[in-house]
A and B are shown apart, each in its own frame.
Chain A
Amino acid sequence: MNLTLKIWRQKNANDKGKMVDYQISDVSPDMSFLEMLDVLNEQLINKGDDPVAFDHDCREGICGMCSLYINGEAHGPDRGVTTCQLHMRMFNDGDTIYIEPFRASAFPVVKDLIVDRSAFDRIQHAGGFISVNTSGNTIDANAIPVEKHNADKAFEAATCIGCGACVATCKNSSAMLFVGAKVSQFALLPQGQVEATDRVLNMVKQMDEEGFGNCTNTGACEVECPKGISLENIARMNQEYLKASLKG
């Protein structure tokens, strides 16, 4: 296939940035989207131009590094996949494809398509853990049975890869789906109960300080989330928050 790419180029955090057009030919439908960009970059390097910078590492949908906003959708047109799992068979010969970074004021652009998502890490520092020491002197793993339903729900919440597509998609740049997933994982497990109050209050406080917006229940995040993290996690976090506020 032959394609026209319109790609956001921005030298660094202080640069203004702009969209730049590129032509690319001989794209195979079996290529992944990132492999298509590899081909473009190889061409740019051979011409002596600066290759397009984008984040990626695992290239199998699990590390959460890749983060492209493609034709107005986080991770592109396919559902339930990350950018690195998107294949060119989703596009047609002659298409024009717009490629931008995940935009949010809490995610400043670093270069081209790379953004700084360290705000997510700081929310986790505030409470995304259970305070056990790691010396191994703990109780037997089977001492506390966990109802399978809750264990499965906790797991589902825990599969969030921290990519930030939810934030990039939300018109308010809210991080509620991401934070809700982490709060839910622990709220659903007996091990998470002890610190539940502090956890939700601290994480929400940090989320607000990072400049993420409010949740107005549009549900767009759930649609674009590559891991199918459900809105019920936001509801659960709201309950936890309410419970904690009444206590606190």
Chain B
Amino acid sequence: MALDSKTPQGPIADKWTNYKNHIDLVNPANKRNIDVIVVGTGLAGGSAAATLAELGYNVKAFCFQDSPRRAHSIAAQGGINAAKNYQGDGDSTYRLFYDTVKGGDYRSREANVYRLAEVSANIIDQCVAQGVPFAREYGGLLDNRSFGGVLVSRTFYAAGQTGQQLLLGAYSAMNRQIGRGKIKMYNRHEMLDVVIVDGKARGIITRNLITGEIERHSAHAVVLGTGGYGNVFFLSTNAMGSNVTAAWKAHKRGAYFANPCYTQIHPTCIPVSGDHQSKLTLMSESLRNDGRIWVPKKKEDVEAIKAGTLKPKDLKEEDRDYYLERRYPAFGNLVPRDVASRAAKERCDAGFGVNATGEAVFLDFASAIQRYGKEQAHVKGLDENDAALVKKLGQEVVKNKYGNLFQMYEKIVDQNPYETPMMIYPAVHYTMGGIWVDYNLMTTVPGLYAIGEANFSDHGANRLGASALMQGLADGYFVLPYTIGDYLSDDIRTGPIPTDTKEFEEAENNVRERIDKLVNNNGSHSVDYFHKKLGKIMWNKVGMSRNEKGLKEAIEEISELRQAFWSDVRVPGTANEYNEELAKAGRVADFLELGELFAKDALHRTESCGGHFREESVELDGPQKGEALRNDKDFAYVAAWEYKGEPKDAVLHKEELEFNDIELKQRSYK
């Protein structure tokens, strides 16, 4: 079956406006009779819940944390893009659109990306009006920084806590509606199934994480803003609770899952320190604006650094290999994430990794400290040749820009990054894949929507920095609240959806059976034991670099691990109490299914594109030798998988991608 993206006709720049002019609206009085469930209170879910409530719908919102303010979006550091062109550096809607499609390696849907770029400027207006304290210049206007993969400064930020500030903005908008009674908030509730009635999504089943109670909730439409599934790798920069469960349940109920193998491995994370590691910490990409990445040129220097006999800062300039600057002179340290990550892996695999595990490269601020220090000395009329003074002034500037990140680094690693270069290594960070949605953000299940990181739509095979926050808020504030109206306009006379029906009963029983199975399993290993094993398989065989043999093995191994999990997992405690192990077990069980589909998707896509790198598909010669090779002839489509029982039986549906406004090119950042 060919998938219909329902993209409106007409020139790309007019599509969204035309669409809005022609959709059915629900009048304000009728909105009061319509209920909408929003699962997730991150940037996507939080902004959607607030806006839907403001429009007049009755909203029920859910999150598994103890407050909506703690959704994983809170952790985003570097910034949010918007085509404001405040810097006058030639930015425009078109350029943001172009950069995003190119950055995504031509695997995203043009019309969605254009719309995203179009509404981006509004996001900043909106957030400022809500009191989000973005960074400002001395003149009182908003400041910008630049991010990887682009040549303009369009990123708005609030120190290294941009996600926090944006989420608190969305949370405040939610609070206003909670106070007005328009949103009913369910904290510490986990969604465990979607309920389909007559082919439409009409509710969800949740578990109250405090009491263990299983509850039925009905609505006229269900929106999932449940985030990404990077934790399938066990170690990632995601919060501990981030999971695929909501998306996976939707998948099992008929929502196609698109491009599961598109994962972003972020180049600048703190390296793994030992087996006890529970998560990885990101060092914002904004650091690459000022930090230079290098490893030693010579193996003996690598060994000396590892042995502690040579301090990295004492290694002479000519003995350092600034490999990004060397390989990609045009973009240097600001190449997109996938390119930077693979380059780090290439150096480390070749034996140039600088820490004990051999999996770390340097991110060095010494040049930036010099440069800023001189600039400050000059501005202040002080001696530019006073090395100590320059260093001090330079450090102050760097502290101003990245202070909290430097502090975070020092707390974790116990080294002072103002004095010695940081050590970094790539880590799983973001999942571009997700639930397939059409232009309306509706999944293949009528009335079931997916927004934010949970859907697949805008980033193709690789996401540019500062674009996830933009997408989450665009979806939630400006897109979904319109598009959902078109669907709900048919529901003005439906009346409340009853929960005492066979569909709700069947879904509830499913949930209960599974929970009973888990708590009564009495196996011999903890949930984490299986999760860590899954993570190892994923990282080694479905990680930064993939090949046919490894992927086939991964599929086998994951499938075996899943069986082992169900026969041997041990979940202490009971179902009717706070039981984190039980919650974790449910999530890992879903990861064990998703992981296999993920590998299957990676196996079928024999091209390299964006974050998906197939060793079999590289440029063999010419100036791009060794770089990833895309295959547009055979793979310019979205792979949307339909659930058919076991992951291995999933059926592939293709949405062909058409590029009318952008010419397909092999990406070059040289």
Tell me the A residues contacting B by CB distance below 8 Å. Answer: 11-12, 28, 30-32, 34-36, 38-39, 42, 44-46, 48-51, 53, 55-65, 78, 80-81, 85, 87, 89, 110-111, 114, 116-118, 120-121, 124-126, 128-136, 138-142, 144-148, 151-152, 154-155, 158-159, 161-162, 185-186, 189, 191-192
Contacts beyond the supplied A59-B278, A125-B178, A158-B168: 7 A-B pairs with Cβ under 8 Å: A28-B276, A87-B412, A132-B126, A132-B130, A145-B140, A151-B136, A158-B158
Chain B 61-89 near chain A by CB (<8 Å), digits 1 or 0: 00001111110101100000000101000
* Known contacts A45-B572, A135-B51, A145-B140: A57-B72 contact under CB 8 Å: yes
Most chain B CB within 10 A, of A154, A155, A185, is at: A155
Complex Cα distance, B127 from A158, in Å, reads 14
Number of interface residues of B (CB under 8 A): 80
Per a CB cutoff under 8 Å, which of B65, B142, B158, B178 touches A63? B65
* A60 pairs with B75, CB closer than 8 A: yes
Chain A neighbourhood of B67, CB < 8 A? 117-118, 120-121, 162
Complex Cα distance, B277 from A38, in Å, reads 10
* Known contacts A139-B129, A159-B164, A191-B130: A131-B65 contact under CB 8 Å: no
Complex interface: stretch among B117-125, B249-257, B338-346:
B117-125
Q: Does B580 make an interface contact (CB < 8 A)?
A: yes
Q: List 29 A-B contacts (CB under 8 A).
A: A30-B274, A30-B276, A35-B277, A38-B276, A39-B276, A53-B578, A57-B72, A58-B70, A60-B281, A62-B75, A62-B164, A85-B411, A110-B210, A121-B175, A121-B187, A125-B179, A132-B126, A132-B129, A133-B54, A135-B51, A136-B125, A136-B477, A141-B127, A142-B86, A151-B140, A154-B133, A158-B133, A158-B158, A192-B131
| Interchain nearest-CB distance for B435 vs A (Å) | 22
* B239 pairs with A141, CB closer than 8 A: no
Complex Cα distance, B123 from A139, in Å, reads 11
Per a CB cutoff under 8 Å, which of A36, A145, A185 touches B141? A145
Chain B 394-426 near chain A by CB (<8 Å), digits 1 or 0: 000000000000011001101000000000000
* B572 pairs with A58, CB closer than 8 A: no
Q: Which residue of chain A has the shortest Cβ distance to B141 in the bound complex? A: A142
Per a CB cutoff under 8 Å, which of A45, A110, A136, A146 touches B526? A45
| Interchain nearest-CB distance for A199 vs B (Å) | 11
| Interchain nearest-CB distance for A42 vs B (Å) | 6
* B278 pairs with A134, CB closer than 8 A: no
Chain B neighbourhood of A142, CB < 8 A? 86, 141-142
Q: Which residue of chain B has the shortest Cβ distance to A34 in the bound complex? A: B278
Chain B neighbourhood of A42, CB < 8 A? 526, 528
Interface residues of B in 142-192 (CB under 8 A from A): 142, 158-159, 161, 163-165, 168, 171-173, 175-176, 178-179, 185, 187
| Interchain nearest-CB distance for A151 vs B (Å) | 4
Chain A neighbourhood of B187, CB < 8 A? 118, 121
Chain A neighbourhood of B662, CB < 8 A? none
* B131 pairs with A147, CB closer than 8 A: no
* Known contacts A139-B129, A191-B128: A158-B572 contact under CB 8 Å: no
| Interchain nearest-CB distance for A228 vs B (Å) | 10
| Interchain nearest-CB distance for A153 vs B (Å) | 9
Tell me the B residues contacting A by CB distance below 8 Å. Answer: 47, 50-51, 54, 65-70, 72, 74-75, 84, 86, 119, 122-131, 133-142, 158-159, 161, 163-165, 168, 171-173, 175-176, 178-179, 185, 187, 210, 239-241, 273-274, 276-279, 281-282, 407-408, 411-412, 414, 477-478, 526, 528, 570, 572-573, 577-578, 580-581
Chain B neighbourhood of A140, CB < 8 A? 125
* Known contacts A45-B581, A64-B69, A87-B412: A146-B528 contact under CB 8 Å: no
* B65 pairs with A57, CB closer than 8 A: yes
Per a CB cutoff under 8 Å, which of B75, B86, B407 touches A58? B75
* B74 pairs with A63, CB closer than 8 A: yes
Complex Cα distance, B514 from A70, in Å, reads 37
| Interchain nearest-CB distance for A177 vs B (Å) | 16
* Known contacts A57-B65, A114-B578: A89-B414 contact under CB 8 Å: yes
| Interchain nearest-CB distance for B422 vs A (Å) | 15
Complex Cα distance, B74 from A59, in Å, reads 12
Complex Cα distance, B176 from A48, in Å, reads 45
Chain A neighbourhood of B581, CB < 8 A? 45, 51
| Interchain nearest-CB distance for A101 vs B (Å) | 13
Chain A neighbourhood of B130, CB < 8 A? 129-130, 132, 134, 191
